[in-house]
Amino acid sequence: MGIEYRNDYIILINPYPIFDKHLTLPSLSHSPQLIAGRFTDMLELTKQLSEYSLFYNGPNCGASAPDHFHFQAGNKGFMPIEDEFQKAEKELLSSLQGCNTYALNHGFRKVLVLCGSDSLKLNMLFNHIMKIFSSYLPADPEPMINIISLWQDEEWSIFVFPRQKHRPDQYFLSAKEQILLSPASVDFGGMLITPRQEDYEKLNKETIKDIFEQLSLEDKIWEAIKNELRD
């Protein structure tokens, strides 16, 4: 059993949790895993589930069900990036009508952070960013992204991770060298989830750095995107 939300989604307990409190929020109607037209839903759900971080994985970006639309949510405080953002050096790219766009480039991955309290303006900003992404990112069928959304202190903080690749080379190596790590939002948020103990034991700082550098954008593309977003 679950809780229906607005006749559009059903809120379920995730049967394979990685958080202390882990929810799955699939669409009641069958539709593909595409964020277009659903970002405002993400904002509304984030505000309603304010004790949780909501997240979205693109269809080739770690989605557990790439053929049926869903969000997931986990209790706040689990993913390190939630606290890192407050402490990290941030590059303010734009400040338009109460919505700020920041760039973070640390911890081996690139991320844009959108902050604001007006959902309509945030939606317009997000659509603008996705249009820019479409010129630079692989699109199959949408630009490759992962998203984490928080509601805190009466505003949203939206972490958008653009990427250029689905899985790292290590995923496809022979048995002894193979690492079955296919990063999605939670991994980009700083908490790596490995399905096997042997994968965990193969990880070190250099390997993690290499994995995220493969998946995240090249510096040249990242700088071009930031330039398009600057005031």
* pTM attached to this predicted model: 0.96
Q: Percent of the chain beyond pLDDT 90? A: 89
Using alpha carbons only, what angle is made at residue 226 by residues 222 and 231, rounded to the nearest 5 degrees? 175
The dihedral over CA atoms of 67, 45, 164, 202, expressed in degrees to the nearest 10, equals -90
Question: In the predicted model, is pLDDT for residue 1 greater than 90?
Answer: no
CA dist list (Å): 154 to 4, 118, 208: 25, 10, 34
Strands (E), 6-162: 9-13, 22-26, 52-57, 70-75, 91-96, 99-106, 109-116, 145-152, 155-162
Q: Identify the pLDDT of residue 97.
A: 84
Alpha-carbon torsion (126, 129, 135, 138), positive or negative: negative
Rounded Cα distance between 32 and 142, Å, is 11
Confidence of residue 37 (pLDDT cuts 50, 70, 90): very high
114-165: per-residue pLDDT in tens?
999 999 999 999 999 999 999 999 887 899 999 999 999 999 999 999 999 9
Q: Identify the pLDDT of residue 9.
A: 98
Q: Identify the pLDDT of residue 134.
A: 96
Q: Which amino acid belongs to residue 150?
A: L
Q: Where are the domains of the chain?
A: 1-163+217-231, 169-215
| DSSP-derived 3-state class of residue 229 | helix
58-115: per-residue pLDDT in tens?
999 987 778 899 999 999 999 999 998 888 889 999 998 889 999 997 778 999 999 9
175-194: per-residue pLDDT in tens?
899 999 999 999 999 999 99
Write out the CATH class of domain 1-163+217-231: alpha beta
Rounded Cα distance between 40 and 105, Å, is 26
Q: Identify the pLDDT of residue 109.
A: 92
Q: Percent of the chain beyond pLDDT 70? A: 100
Sheet holding 91-96: strands in order across? 3-5, 9-13, 22-26, 70-75, 52-57, 145-152, 155-162, 109-116, 99-106, 91-96
Better pLDDT: 106 or 227: 227
Q: Identify the pLDDT of residue 143.
A: 97
Confidence of residue 25 (pLDDT cuts 50, 70, 90): very high
Rounded Cα distance between 71 and 132, Å, is 23
Q: What is the mean pLDDT of residues 6-25?
A: 96
